[in-house]
Structure 1
Amino acid sequence: MDDTLFYDTLRQGLWVATLVSMPILSVALIAGLVVGLFQALTSIQEMTLTFVPKLAAIVGVFWITMGFMTETLVSYFQNTLIPIIAGG
C-alpha cells in the first residue's frame, strides 16, 4: 500500500466519521444550549435537568438516524476497505 492510498483512505474514513457523528453532536449542542438557557432564566441548578433532556434528545436522534449511519458505514466498508483488503 502506497502513501497516497493510505492517506486517501484515512481522509475518507475521517469524513465518514464526521458525517455519522454530526446529527448526534448537533442535537446534543442544541439541547445543551436550550437547557442551559432555561436554567439561567429560572435559576434552577439541578444536575438531572442537564443530563436527562440531552440524553433523551441524543437517543431519539440516534434512533431516527440509525439507518443513515449504518448505510454510510457499510457503504464505506464495502466500497473502500474491502477492495483494498482483497487487492493487497
Structure 2
Amino acid sequence: MDETLFFDSLRQGLWVATLISMPVLTAALIAGVIVGLFQALTSIQEMTLTFVPKLAAIVVVYWVSMSFMTATLVDFFQAEIVPLIAGT
C-alpha cells in the first residue's frame, strides 16, 4: 500500500467520523447551553438536571439520525475500504 493512499484513506475516515458525530455532539451542545441558561436563571444547581436532558437529547438525536450514520459508514466502506482490501 502506498503511503499517500494510506493517508488519503485515513483522512477520509476521519472526515466520515466527524460527519457521523456532528448530530449527536450538536444536540449535546444545544441541550447543555439550554440547561446551563436555565440553571443560571433559576439558581438551581442540581447535578441530575444537567445530565438527564443531555442524555435524553443525545438518545433522541441518535435514534433519529441512525439511518444517516449507517448509510454514511456503509458508503465509505463500500467505496474506499473494500476496494483497498480487494486490491482494485
How far has the Cα of 1:85 moved from its partner?
A: 0.4
How far has the Cα of 1:50 moved from its partner?
A: 0.3
**Correspondence for 1:27:** 27
**Correspondence for 1:5:** 5
**Correspondence for 1:56:** 56
Instruction: Give identity over the alignment, percent.
Output: 74
How far has the Cα of 1:21 moved from its partner?
A: 0.1
Alpha-carbon distance between aligned partners in 2 of 1:78 and 1:2, rounded to the nearest angstrom: 20
Letter in 2 for 1:30: I
Whether 1:15 and 2:45 are equivalent positions in the alignment is no
1:51-75, CA deviations, whole angstroms, 9 ceiling, x for partnerless residues?
A: 0000000000000000000000011
C-alpha root-mean-square deviation of aligned residues, in Å? 0.9
Secondary structure of the residue aligned to 1:55 is helix
Runs of 4+ in 1 over 4 A off after TM superposition: none
How far has the Cα of 1:12 moved from its partner?
A: 0.3
How far has the Cα of 1:5 moved from its partner?
A: 0.2
Letter in 2 for 1:60: V
Unaligned runs of 5+ in 1: none
Secondary structure of the residue aligned to 1:44 is coil
Secondary structure of the residue aligned to 2:65 is helix
**Correspondence for 1:76:** 76
Alpha-carbon distance between aligned partners in 2 of 1:38 and 1:20, rounded to the nearest angstrom: 29
**Correspondence for 2:85:** 85
